[in-house]
Structure 1
Amino acid sequence: MKYLFCLILFSIHFSGVGQEVFRDQNFDPDIKTAYLFPANDPKGSNIHAAVVPLSQNVPLVLTFDEVNTDEAAYYYASIIHCNADWTKSGLNDMEYLYDFNEFFIEEYAFSINTKIPYTQFKFRLPRVKVPGNYIIKVYPEEQPDNPILTRRFVVYDRKVGVLPKFERSSGISERITNHQINFKINYGSFPILNPHMDVKVVIRQNFRWDNAIEGLKPTFVRTDINELEYRYFDLQNNFFAGNEYRFFDLRSILYSGQNVAQITEHRGMYQATLYTDIPKGKEAYAVFNDYNGGYIIENSDRSGDYLEADYIQVHFNLRMDQPLSEDIYLAGALTGYKFDKSTKMTYDDEAKTYQNSLLLKQGWYDYIYYVPNHEKNPYIIEGSHFETRNNYDIIVYYSHPQLRADIVVGYWKGSN
């Protein structure tokens, strides 16, 4: 609780909060495979939540590649404390950092014997003093206002307990397609005076921010046992369950892995064509393992997974006799769940397929075809089944006017 006291003391001296909403973004098209992972993951997989406790005994590591270069640029990183809505908080650097807020990224290495040359950078995130939402911003030397990428991460200090309960949806037609998450927050001796104003909750599915549930208010406040209950009957706490992710194995360029039809070399680079997909929206649920939308960088042809893994142009095809009126996008960690021109599928009338291609590093990838603007169900291509297994996490924020920031006081992570 020491940081709460310190932040209140500072409040008389500093004020003003920016309105820019920070997101996971690449601002340079040559920046690829950028993500955060825990330092104790030997493979550096993109299957983890970028969330750590305030103790930060296992810090997060940022990794990213700059392709089409065999020289190392000078890049720096800075850390920004944010509110629950990902706008900059009212805290200044010295309130949440132990160091000067400009960190030189000194760890880098060059790719080895790859068709597409790249430089891989790694940076271990510094410790912070205060829990909350954070942005790491990477930028060229002396150009802090010209970032090449930003990534979100969360630091929590567990002051309250979160008790979730997965149930079938309270909606009749949604019982076979949705996951419903009711939960309780036990705040014990933590000083929550106005739960409807001071507590904010975010629920994520598979660590996604694009479809996170926000703005929930407690339906019951039990001051006698210091407990907040979130139990809804109007679908506010419902997610489309979706389906198990499609996947492809791109770990080798010497042979075609699972769901890869062929690998060729063209225009000085490798090209991989996946088997043509078909819609699964009307199929029954089928059990198989996936990474819930994540990916693992791996090269089975050579010993050095990271530096000897090549970049490959991967071609996706989705068979549909007629195009949808809404746009279809490739989704998963491989696209960062960004729905823009680069991830949009384009319909070919002659081939009767939706098509797109992505430049991806060798590895194992999950993906889905997603229709974010569909009037009823964004999983119209994939299908949505109550039986689908997903990861979920719940982030609890505490907000108080004197703090000038939202801090994370509770966190739960698990699966249905």
Structure 2
Amino acid sequence: MNSIKKLFLTSIITCVSGVLFSQNFTAEFIKSVTFNTQENINPIIQLGKTLKIGFDDLEADQKSYKYIIQHCNYNWEISNLQSTEYINGFQSFEILDMENSFGTYQNYTHHKFEIPNRNTRIKISGNFLLTILNDDDEICIQRRFVLYESQISIIGKVVRDRSLKNIDKKQVVNFSIIHPNVNINNPSKDLKVVILQNNDWNLTKLDIKPQYYKKNEIVYNYNAETSYFGSNEFLNFDTKNFNATNVNIVKSVIEDHYYQTYLYPNQPRNYLPYTYYPDINGGFVIRTLNGTESTVESEYTNVRFHLKATKNLEKNESIYIYGAFNNYAFTEQNRLKLNKKTNYLETEMLFKQGFYNYIHVIKDKDKELDTITVDGSYQETENNYTILVYYQPFGERIQKIVGYSIINSKN
């Protein structure tokens, strides 16, 4: 079986294994997968615009990598389209741009590329799976990205949940699709809508049917169907300068020829009143004041997390440090483990210098993601809600994304 066939089979298995917790692989020696999106959130960009991708290889041996792009349907299963139907040029090509780190304790090679480029140009909107392989055709990175067109408009607002049980905990997304220039004959079948909280594919609302229709307007004014726990504002730390103190960092020191960053211990926030402070909704920004070029002069530091092990948390083995820094994945590295000597749940992970958001979540196998037990949920929390509208008229082979909008809970 050749390498391309192996890749396609692997990707298909990944896609059908589940919508919410798949297509998110990163090899252990790969760190800091970045995009030219705001705070490196999951990329949703307009068709024809440039998507830039970068990543670090901590083995620093100048490996050769290549990318492959596959089209997916609404449910993130590999579609049956031929590559020539959605790409002009090559579906797969070698990544040629690389640069070694300079003056850092942790050596790494920074690789980068962009789409479209002279070899690959995507010609339709939709869902796409990006896979990066090494010379042995082993998958090292998989990420989703979305390309959209602006054929319709989306207007909406975020309101409080109407049920008394959740009125102080949940936020509801109400919106309408305005389509004066697109003839939608059967909205309930031809349209599909996705809502994401903070561009996190683990937190989606799918298969939302239109509630009612007006002239050139399709209305979605539900309550439970489009309701989210507001969760809490993200916590943060900033390692851009090892020579200065930071409000959330106890100290950054060099131990065993490596930077170690100790964060102040966290307490569960689920019993505390809501307090507003600005965050970047789970994102991160690579930056350093200890060099001039952040991509190759930023240090890596081992960041140590501590969460107070209260009675209802100390036996829980499924609490994770959660954020865009690893694309909202659940791994042994970001899982908190009980230290019986200190009575804290602890873990440590490598981070490139920068500003990072994170919260604590619980993810038990085969259960829904729990974002509220540790850090609480408040209807006042500032969140972004992304709405994507997929359109495939009867008889058409290609499903397009014809609308995109972000609605902020504070605005």
TM-score by length of 2: 0.88
Which residue does 2:350 correspond to in 1? 359
Q: Could you tell me which amino acid in structure 1 is paired with residue 123 of structure 2?
A: K
The CA distance in 2 between the partners of 1:371 and 1:18, in whole Å, is 28
Structure 1 residue 163: Cα displacement: 1.4
The answer to whether structure 1 residue 133 and structure 2 residue 134 are counterparts is no
Which residue does 1:258 correspond to in 2? 247
Q: Which runs of 5 or more residues in structure 2 are unaligned?
A: 1-10
Which residue does 1:236 correspond to in 2? 225
Q: Structure 1 residue aligned with 2:192, among 185, 192, 200? A: 200
SS in structure 2 of the partner of residue 251 of structure 1: coil
Aligned ranges 1:25-44 → 2 under 5 Å: 25-38=24-37
Q: Could you tell me which amino acid in structure 2 is paired with residue 36 of structure 1?
A: F
Q: Structure 2 residue aligned with 1:83, among 63, 70, 73? A: 73
Q: Could you tell me which amino acid in structure 2 is paired with residue 125 of structure 1?
A: I
The answer to whether structure 1 residue 113 and structure 2 residue 103 are counterparts is yes
Q: Are the structure 2 counterparts of residues 391 and 147 from structure 1 closer, same or farther at C-alpha, using a change threshold of 3 Å?
A: same
The CA distance in 2 between the partners of 1:303 and 1:248, in whole Å, is 21
The answer to whether structure 1 residue 267 and structure 2 residue 256 are counterparts is yes
Do 1:250 and 1:256's aligned partners in 2 also have CA atoms closer than 8 Å?
Answer: no
**Residues 216-262 of structure 1: CA deviation (Å, up to 9, x unaligned):** 1111133xx032211223x1201111111111111122234231112
The CA distance in 2 between the partners of 1:80 and 1:342, in whole Å, is 29
Structure 1 residue 53: Cα displacement: 1.4
Q: Which runs of 5 or more residues in structure 1 are unaligned?
A: 1-16, 39-44
Which residue does 2:52 correspond to in 1? 61
The CA distance in 2 between the partners of 1:228 and 1:414, in whole Å, is 17
Q: Could you tell me which amino acid in structure 2 is paired with residue 82 of structure 1?
A: C
SS in structure 2 of the partner of residue 173 of structure 1: coil
The CA distance in 2 between the partners of 1:178 and 1:264, in whole Å, is 41
Structure 1 residue 412: Cα displacement: 0.5
Structure 1 residue 337: Cα displacement: 1.4
Structure 1 residue 267: Cα displacement: 2.9
Which residue does 1:335 correspond to in 2? 326
Which residue does 2:388 correspond to in 1? 395
Q: Could you tell me which amino acid in structure 1 is paired with residue 259 of structure 2?
A: Y
**Residues 25-55 of structure 1: CA deviation (Å, up to 9, x unaligned):** 33421011113224xxxxxx63445111123
The CA distance in 1 between the partners of 2:24 and 2:349, in whole Å, is 16
Aligned ranges 1:178-217 → 2 under 5 Å: 178-217=170-209
Do 1:89 and 1:404's aligned partners in 2 also have CA atoms closer than 8 Å?
Answer: no
SS in structure 1 of the partner of residue 254 of structure 2: strand
The CA distance in 2 between the partners of 1:354 and 1:18, in whole Å, is 36
**Once superposed, which parts of structure 1, at least 4 consecutive aligned residues long, lie more than 6 Å away?**
none
SS in structure 2 of the partner of residue 307 of structure 1: helix
The answer to whether structure 1 residue 166 and structure 2 residue 158 are counterparts is yes
Structure 1 residue 20: Cα displacement: 4.3
SS in structure 1 of the partner of residue 270 of structure 2: coil
Do 1:20 and 1:88's aligned partners in 2 also have CA atoms closer than 8 Å?
Answer: no
Do 2:238 and 2:356's aligned partners in 1 also have CA atoms closer than 8 Å?
Answer: yes
Do 2:283 and 2:357's aligned partners in 1 also have CA atoms closer than 8 Å?
Answer: yes
Q: Are the structure 2 counterparts of residues 337 and 142 from structure 1 closer, same or farther at C-alpha, using a change threshold of 3 Å?
A: closer
Which residue does 2:378 correspond to in 1? 385
Q: Structure 2 residue aligned with 1:414, among 387, 407, 410? A: 407
Do 1:82 and 1:405's aligned partners in 2 also have CA atoms closer than 8 Å?
Answer: no
SS in structure 1 of the partner of residue 34 of structure 2: strand
Q: Could you tell me which amino acid in structure 1 is paired with residue 154 of structure 2?
A: V
The answer to whether structure 1 residue 245 and structure 2 residue 234 are counterparts is yes
Structure 1 residue 401: Cα displacement: 5.8
Which residue does 2:300 correspond to in 1? 311
TM-score by length of 1: 0.87
SS in structure 1 of the partner of residue 295 of structure 2: coil
Q: How many residues align?
A: 386
Which residue does 1:284 correspond to in 2? 273
**Residues 311-343 of structure 1: CA deviation (Å, up to 9, x unaligned):** 111110001232525421111112321123222
Q: Structure 1 residue aligned with 2:216, among 226, 240, 250? A: 226
- Same amino acid, percent of matched pairs: 28
The CA distance in 2 between the partners of 1:142 and 1:334, in whole Å, is 26
Structure 1 residue 344: Cα displacement: 1.4
The CA distance in 2 between the partners of 1:351 and 1:79, in whole Å, is 47
